[in-house]
Amino acid sequence: MSRHWMLGACGMGVGPLALYLRAAGHEVRAWDDAPRGPMLDHLRSAGIPLDPDPWASGWSPEVVGHSAAVAPGHPLRALAASRGAELVRRGELLARAAAGRRLVAVCGSHGKTTTCGMVIAALDAAGADFGHVLGGLFRDPASPPARAARASDWLVAEVDESDGTIGAFSPEVTVAVNLDWDHPDYYRSEADLERVFADLFRRTSSLILIPADSARLRRLAEGCSARVLTVGPGGDLALDAASAGPGRSRATLSGLWPRASLELPVEGAFNRANAGLALAVAWHVAGRLGERPLGDWAGIRRRQDTLLDRPGLRVVADYAHHPTEIAALLGLLRETAPGRLAVVFQPHRHTRTRQYAAAFRDALAVADRILLLPVYAAGETPVEGGASSDLLPAADPRFELVPDRARLPSLLRRFLADGPATVAFVGAGDVDRDALAFARAEDDLAARLGGRLSPASVLRRAEPLARRVTLGVGGPAAWYAEPATESDATELLRAARRAGLPAFVLGRGSNLLVPDGGYEGLVIHLAADAWTRVEPLGDLRLRVGGGARLKEVCGVAARLGLAGLEFLEGIPGTVGGSLRMNAGAMGAWIFDRVESVDWLDADGARRSAPREAFDAGYRDCPQLHGALVLSAVLRAERTDQPEAIRARMADLAARRRASQPREPSAGCVFRNPPGAKAGALIDAAGLKSLASGDALVSPVHANFIVNPGAASSDDVLALMRRVRSRVREASGIQLEPEILLLGKEWGEVL
C-alpha cells in the first residue's frame, strides 16, 4: 500500500478516487483550493484529512494525484515536484487502481455518470459484491460515491475520454452510452475521438454493451474479440419501455433476456435507455436482476435535480453541457412539466462553445426564455467565436446575455410574473449555485409558515436592503421579516430551515456589505418594541433586548447612574449584532460587560449561557454565528453621577466625530493585523481618497470606505481589492475584511 496526496479532492473526479483508494487500504490525504460542499463531508467521513503541505508534518506522499483543474504551474504541483513525488493525472491513477481488477468501464460523451450510478444500483439490487468509483454524487447523501469490494475483483468506474487517459484502461466489460464529437481542445478531428473508443473496444476482454440505435458504436465495435451486445428496442437484449406516471416507466424484456415485465424508477427515453444498459451489466455480472432491478434509485446530484416544485414553479438543475444532452433534457421537461420553460445556460469551455454554437442555439430554442451566462472556461483561454455572445441568434428576443449573474433572480421573476413555468439551470460549471440560491429564495416561505405568525409581524418579499444598511448599497432580500414575538422568530427560523433558505438577523446594518444582487434568503429585523426593551435588574445589571440600539442602552445606563458602558454610545449597532461581532471601541469590548445571553440558534431552538461559555475575541463570537439574540444581561462597572457619565459619553462622541468620516460607511473595513493598525497601513501606502467608481477611501480615516452618494456594492468590492493589493505590495501584509459580506464568503469575491 502506498501514500497518496490527492489535489482537487472536492471535485467529482478526484474526490471519489480518493475515497476508493482509502477504502482499498492506501494512506490518503487530500487538498482542494475551495474545500467545501458534500464531497468534503464524504472525505471527512472516510477519515481523509485535508492537508495543504503533508511534508511539513513529516508525512511524505509517494504519489500525488490531481485533477485537470490543478493545472501546470499550480504551487502545490510545484511543491510535489520539488519533493520528488510522482505526479499522476486522475484518469491515469484510476487506471492503476483498476489494473488487475475485473473492470466494468462506463464511457460515452454524456450520460455516463447517471448510467454508472444505475449500474451500481442494479448490481446492488442483484446482490453482487463489487467496488465502484462514480464520477459524481448520489442524491442520497448516505451513499458514498466510491467503495471497495468485500471479496470480489469486480470494479465499476467511469472512464473519461476528455484528456486521453482512456487509453490506459483494459476493461473486462465496456458500457458505451453514446458517442458524439466533443473535446475539440484535445482531439483534432472526429476520427481521432472515434479511434480511442475503437481502441478501448479492442482492449475489452469479455463484453461490449452499446445502445441498439447507435450505428456509430456498432461500426467501431466491429471485429473486436469481445462479445458485442446491443441493448434497447430491437436489440439483442431488447428493452421496450413507456411512461407509467411521474418518475416511473414500465419495461418489457425480451431477446436474449428471459421475457419479463418490470417497473423502473425513471422517466424519459434517455433515462430508460441508460437503465437498460445498467440491467445488462447486472445480468452479466450477477446472473440475475433484483425484484426491484434498480433498488431505491434516487438519481445523481445535478442530473435533472428538482430543487423546487410548488404550484406555479418548478426549478431544475442539470449538468448537461453538450447539445445532444441539452436537447434531451429540454425535451423531457417539455414532456413532463406543462407550462412555459426558461433556461439559464452556462456554456462549458470556449472550444466547445465555438464548435457547437449553432447546435446549442437549436437545442436551447425549445425554451420560451433563454438566459446565457458567461462561459465557464475550466482553465481554457478565450478563443474567437467561443464566447456566450456567439450563441445569440441574429434576432430572437427570447435570448439574452447576462454578464452579471446577480441580475438572474430579477430577470426570472419577471418571466414568472406571466404565469406558471419551469426554470432549468443547465451547465457543467458552477451554475448549480445560482440554481440552488434561486430555488431557496423562491420557496414559498409564507405557505410554509401556514399562518403561524402573529398579526403584528411583517413578512415581505423582495425587500430593498440598501436603505437598511449604513453604507447605503446593495440589492434586495428575497424575504424580509419583522417578528413581533419570540414565537414568531422561532417559526421564521424553523420555516427557513425546512425550506433550505439561509437566514440573517439584521440590526442597524453597520459592519455589513450587501451584494448588488441582494440576498437569496430571509432577513430578520428585530424592530418591534418587545425586542428593544432595556430593563434594570438591580446590582449594576441591565437586561437588554436583542434589537435594542447601543445608543439607547447607554442612555438608560446614564440615567440610572451605571458607569462603564459609555464606550458603546457611538457604535451604530444593536445589542444582537454587537454580540455577534463582539463590538468594541476605545479599547473596550461588549463582552467585557456581558453576564449572560439568551438566543435562538439557526434551528429555532432556545439557548442560554453565561459569559464563560463564549469564546468572544477580536470582532467575533463564534457561538453566536447564525444566532438570533433574544436578550442579554449586561453588568456595569460601578455607579456614578449621571452628569459625569453623560460628560464622558459626550467626550467619546466628540473624539469619534473628529477621527471618523461623516459620510455613509460600514465602519472599519479591515481587521487590524497582529502588531499593526489596518488604517495606518492603508494610509502609509498613500491610499487615502483612492476611489473606485463612486466608492472612496475616506480622507479622514483610511480604514473606512465611504459612499458619498452613488456607490454600488461592486464599487466597494473593487476598492477593497485595490486596497488589499497595494497594502500587500507596500508592506507584505495581507489585510482581511472585518465587515461581513451578506450571503457570500470573502474568498469568493476578493
Q: What is the pLDDT of residues 343-393, one digit of tens each?
A: 999 999 999 899 999 999 999 999 999 999 999 988 788 999 999 999 999
pLDDT at 687 over 90: yes
The CATH code of the domain at 445-525 is 3.30.43.10
Sort strands 704-706 and 399-401 into parallel, antiparallel or unpaired: unpaired
Q: Which of 40, 173, 159, 157 is nearest to 109 (CA)?
A: 159
The 3-class secondary structure across 118-133, one letter per residue, is HHHHHHHHCCCCCEEE
Which part of the chain is CATH 3.30.465.10?
Answer: 532-648
pLDDT at 656 over 90: no
CA–CA–CA angle 416, 419, 425 (5° rounding): 40
Residues near 643 by beta carbon (within 8 Å), at least 6 away in sequence: none
Are 238 and 257 a contacting pair, CB within 8 Å? yes
Are 511 and 742 a contacting pair, CB within 8 Å? no
pLDDT score for 699: 96
Residues near 49 by beta carbon (within 8 Å), at least 6 away in sequence: 29, 30
Are 712 and 472 a contacting pair, CB within 8 Å? no
CATH superfamily assigned to domain 3-92: NAD(P)-binding Rossmann-like Domain (3.40.50.720)
Cα separation, 310 vs 139, in Å, equals: 20
Give the position of cell 428538482: 306
Cα separation, 325 vs 214, in Å, equals: 15
Cell of 68: 485537470
The string of DSSP letters for 385-424 reads T-SGGGG--SS-TTEEE-S-GGGHHHHHHHHHTTS-EEEE
Q: Which of 521, 431, 442 is nearest to 475 (CA)?
A: 521
How is residue 506 annotated by DSSP?
A: E
Cα separation, 546 vs 337, in Å, equals: 46
Give the position of cell 466510491: 146
**115-121: average pLDDT:** 95
The pLDDT confidence band at residue 328, using thresholds 50, 70 and 90, is confident
Give the position of cell 434509485: 297
Coil, helix or strand for 504?
strand
pLDDT score for 701: 95
**Which run of H or of E encompasses 722?**
helix 713-731
Overall CATH class of domain 665-748: alpha beta
Rounded to whole angstroms, what are the CA distances from 605 to 145, 353, 613?
33, 49, 17
Which part of the chain is CATH 3.30.43.10?
Answer: 445-525
Q: Which of 319, 312, 335, 311 is nearest to 247 (CA)?
A: 335
How is residue 748 annotated by DSSP?
A: G
Let me know how long the chain is: 750
pLDDT score for 291: 83
Overall CATH class of domain 532-648: alpha beta
pLDDT score for 471: 96
How is residue 155 annotated by DSSP?
A: E
Are 50 and 32 a contacting pair, CB within 8 Å? yes
**191-212: average pLDDT:** 93
Coil, helix or strand for 566?
helix
Which part of the chain is CATH 3.40.50.720?
Answer: 3-92
Cα separation, 613 vs 629, in Å, equals: 15
The CATH code of the domain at 325-442 is 3.90.190.20
Q: Which sign, positive or negative, has the C-alpha torsion 711, 716, 717, 723? A: positive
pLDDT score for 429: 87
Are 363 and 341 a contacting pair, CB within 8 Å? no
The pLDDT confidence band at residue 601, using thresholds 50, 70 and 90, is very high
The pLDDT confidence band at residue 407, using thresholds 50, 70 and 90, is confident
pLDDT score for 311: 79
Q: What is the mean pLDDT of the chain?
A: 91
Which part of the chain is CATH 3.90.78.10?
Answer: 665-748
pLDDT score for 158: 93
CATH 3.40.1190.10 fits 99-286, yes or no: yes
Which part of the chain is CATH 3.90.190.20?
Answer: 325-442
pLDDT at 183 over 80: no
To the nearest whole percent, how much of the chain has pLDDT over 70?
A: 99
